[in-house]
Homo-oligomer: A and B are copies of this chain.
């Protein structure tokens, strides 16, 4: 059994109240007793029980974070940013992975409610609105990261997908490309839509027609998804001189397929990713991409969540912050041939 303030009180010959106050630097305690009590506490190896404290104060100092997968290079940095803020603010982090399974997601949210988390940050999830309701009913503030739902009344933090895609496409246009394809992610929802919109807007701004036949969709956002999408593209006889990919992983998969088919990148086909995951710099050729400030997004989400739960959830203006990234030009893009 762990040491309690009562144990300390017995030894110090005072009441447990006095011990409680002494350890929490309460004003109305004589210096002598405070010092004496702290020394005893140290000797006994006293560690306050935050479960008891939480019960009393009905606040857990825990934030829940839900991701799809923990070993996902695009989200690890976001969680790392969240964790950094929480650690600085003496909050703890409850992490759970939904694996895109609604049943699991429900169980996770239930579990977090049972543990009375002070807030929840949900990453890139198409959350069932009923789950959110559950949280709101317990007046647990929720912050979405990389919101995937169109109409949102929930505070969220993300990056400007449309802008990123616009800049990437503009980069290719500036290199003289006119036949630019888009390799999308069929299961991404809103981010994919937004990136497609940015791509189309850039084309339009350059006075180019949008061509439906240059848009392909992979079954997921992994290298295999990019590989399948580009294979479909090649099979249909399309040979765009440049490809905008939903993300870096898909671009990497597409890159491999192009090279396997004897196409040189960027001489025969330029290619851009999205996200600037660390490995995008290490493929051959290094990938031109759009940097998402992931750690910053995580930090912003955590700060927003903390602010919401301090505000008492009453004046929770459903704020949405979009952080901007920046174009990272590497060697996978080059001038259009001819």
Contacts and interface: CB of A to CB of B under 8 A. Distances in A.
Interface in A1-34: 1-2
A79 B47 CA distance: 27
Nearest to A2: B138
A260 B180 CA distance: 30
B55 A114 contact: no
Interface string A130-141: 000010011000
Determine the interface band of chain A, counting residues with CB < 8 A from chain B. Answer: 35 or more
A44 to B, nearest CB: 10
B114 A49 contact: yes
Contact of A79 (B70, B77, B138): B70
Given A54-B51, A76-B70, A104-B87, A45 B137 contact: yes
Interface stretch (A93-101, A146-154, A195-203, A307-315): A93-101
A134 to B, nearest CB: 8
Interface in A23-80: 45, 47-52, 54-55, 58, 60, 62, 69-73, 76-77, 79-80
Chain multiplicity (copies): 2
Nearest to A108: B87
Contacts of A80: 69-71, 97
Nearest to A69: B80
Interface stretch (A164-172, A232-240, A277-285): A277-285
A259 interface: yes
Given A2-B138, A51-B60, A83 B110 contact: no
A299 interface: no
Given A69-B80, A71-B79, A282-B279, A114 B256 contact: no
20 contacts: A1-B58, A45-B137, A47-B110, A48-B114, A51-B116, A55-B55, A69-B80, A70-B79, A70-B83, A72-B76, A73-B76, A76-B76, A83-B95, A83-B96, A87-B96, A87-B108, A92-B111, A93-B94, A256-B282, A283-B283
